[in-house]
Structure 1
Amino acid sequence: MEDKLRSIGDYSKIKMIQSVSGGDINQAYFVETAEQTYFIKTNKQVPADFFQVEAEGLDRIRDTKTIHVPEVFHYDIAHNDEEIYLLMEWVEGEKHTSTGKWLGEDLAALHSTHVGKQYGLDSSTFVGEIRQENLLFDNWLDYYREQRLQPQMNLAISKGRMSGKRLERMEQLLSRLDQYIPSKPRVSLLHGDLWGGNWLAGLKGTPYLIDPSIVYGDPLFEIAFTELFGGFPGEFYASYQSILPLADYYEDIKPLYQLFYLMVHLNLFGEGYGTSVDRILKHYTV
């Protein structure tokens, strides 16, 4: 770890290294030197570009100048299964009474940025440990069906978690997805994995986004995921809608957007998420 810190110009003495929560995938540490504090993640069980993808996603969000993300100081690309490191700014603070409001406003500002007219992304990302292959599409419906739902369906089939009536309903839904998902919604830069554990409060309650899986797509896709597992205050939604009101059809398509994330969880964690997947499929099919 000393070598990694020296590589970014911090030659000062390490005062503290403390293990902290960093998700299910990585080892994570709070590191304090005489010069600065850091959040450092390490791993040797992930693809070589795992931390590079995370860093580039944070950079792309930062470039919009709409919402805070941690500064990235260094990331490794693995060679020969070596341990890799990601060095970032340590973000710490307490939630302010206005933190939820600021988060909603800042996310709406992020979603209001437009870069091009295509949906998807020009590179792959990760959702958890699963590599998310991306391409750029002129049509959001096609991207969502071909790059999101179909690959998760195929992965579930390979894992023995998609067969029988579940598979029949999934195939039926994909064939009629154009009845529900819009073809040309707003093109927004999305965090892409925004559940309650992927935002935190920094100094003076300023909200920060962490661990992105960026994509250009329908902002309702992002909002639907925030509602799936909780972790967002009511004022977040009110302030977001004061800038970007939710479309009239949002409640009709929200379960279809949540279906992607439930499929990811089905593939990562197993049949505990199968009932939720089945409930959505049953609602939209016969």
Structure 2
Amino acid sequence: MWHAIAQQLSEVLAFDFIIREKERLSDGDCNTCYMISDGEERYFVKVNDREFFSKFESEIDNLSTLLSTSTIRVPQPVTCGMTKTHAFLVLNYLPTKPLAEPKDAFDFGQQLAMLHQWGEQKEYGYDADTYVGLNLQPNAWHKHWGFFFAEYRIGWQLQLLKEKGLDLGDIDQTVELVKQTLGAHSPKPALLHGNLTSNNYALSVSGAISYDPSSYWGDRECDIAIIEAFTDLDDEFFKGYNRVYPITEGYANRKHVYQLYYLLCRCNELGGDYLVQCLDKISQLDL
């Protein structure tokens, strides 16, 4: 496997890359992770089964799109490919540590706000389907946000759960409640990171950096809602964000719907307590 990875990396780099150092790193939620080096250049490698290749292709596309905005820092994608037994993804290697200092959290908030202000898009969606962890995320373009989120996010996940034998109630009813909650809310489509949980950002030598995106054009509040629910970022992050792009009125009512989506994604992967949390969030839609 490693010979094939070195060979493809050599083709991309246009010089003979020989792996002289290989270190196993802490694994992510889905992948086995390594640092490799030829003695001069270091790269971060994710390895998984061959069927993960499409996920790695999607990640490279998302990272490249985010890099093109010159707003939020993300790793530089290098290549992805397959061996006879595995799929792999190669990124530039950046040593990181926890994002702990208030100033760094403030700067990270400003970065995300600038991403959400970047670009012009009239519809919600993306040119390709993406992934949240192992969950396929359909991104067919649509003009109406409430319909897009209710059908392609909540309804999609509920149907996947039902096919696994996990029944969270009447899908059509829940989808309709989501549409009612979002109502006439028609936010400016923003390019989202899409997966800003606590293990998907850190501090690098050049500042805060995020990774493992699940990007699409949607309501910026989706990124904010997942940060509130699944990270320990403090008030300085939100101060930084609001300094650039203040959060609008009504977010407090909508965030529970957005958080429900990410809970459903985790329930689809992990089950357990997430099932109870999903049922609790769905019950709040009736209030």
Q: TM-score, normalised by structure 1?
A: 0.91
Per-residue CA deviation, residues 219-252 of structure 1 (Å, 9 max, x unaligned), is 0011000111223232111110111111211111
Deviates more, 1:99-108 or 1:9-18: 9-18
Q: How many residues align?
A: 279
Aligned with residue 113 of structure 1, among 118, 126, 137: 118
Per-residue CA deviation, residues 197-234 of structure 1 (Å, 9 max, x unaligned), is 11121115x11110111010000011000111223232
Amino acid at match of 1:194: L
Structure 2: any 5+ residue segments left out of the alignment? none
Per-residue CA deviation, residues 126-172 of structure 1 (Å, 9 max, x unaligned), is 1111221210111111110111111101011111111xxx313x532
What's the counterpart of residue 89 of structure 1? 92
Identity score, percent: 27
What's the counterpart of residue 226 of structure 2? 225
How much does 1:47 deviate?
Answer: 3.7
Could you tell me whether the CA contact under 8 Å between 2:190 and 2:220 is conserved in 1?
A: yes
Amino acid at match of 2:233: F
Pairing 1:83-232 to 2, within 5 Å after superposition: 83-94=86-97, 95=99, 97-162=102-167, 166-168=168-170, 170-181=171-182, 182-204=184-206, 206-232=207-233
How much does 1:113 deviate?
Answer: 1.0
Aligned residue for 2:127, secondary structure, equals coil
Aligned with residue 37 of structure 2, among 5, 22, 32: 32
How much does 1:16 deviate?
Answer: 1.8
Q: Does 1:74 align with 2:79?
A: yes
What's the counterpart of residue 266 of structure 1? 267
How much does 1:46 deviate?
Answer: 3.0
What's the counterpart of residue 237 of structure 1? 238
Aligned with residue 61 of structure 1, among 66, 89, 93: 66
Aligned residue for 1:117, secondary structure, equals coil
CA distance in 2, matches of 1:225, 1:177: 17
Deviates more, 1:214-223 or 1:92-101: 92-101
CA distance in 2, matches of 1:203, 1:65: 17
Aligned residue for 2:79, secondary structure, equals strand
Structure 1: any 5+ residue segments left out of the alignment? none
Coordinate RMSD, CA, aligned: 1.9
Q: TM-score, normalised by structure 2?
A: 0.91
Could you tell me whether the CA contact under 8 Å between 1:18 and 1:29 is conserved in 2?
A: yes
Deviates more, 1:7-16 or 1:118-127: 7-16
Could you tell me whether the CA contact under 8 Å between 1:10 and 1:35 is conserved in 2?
A: no
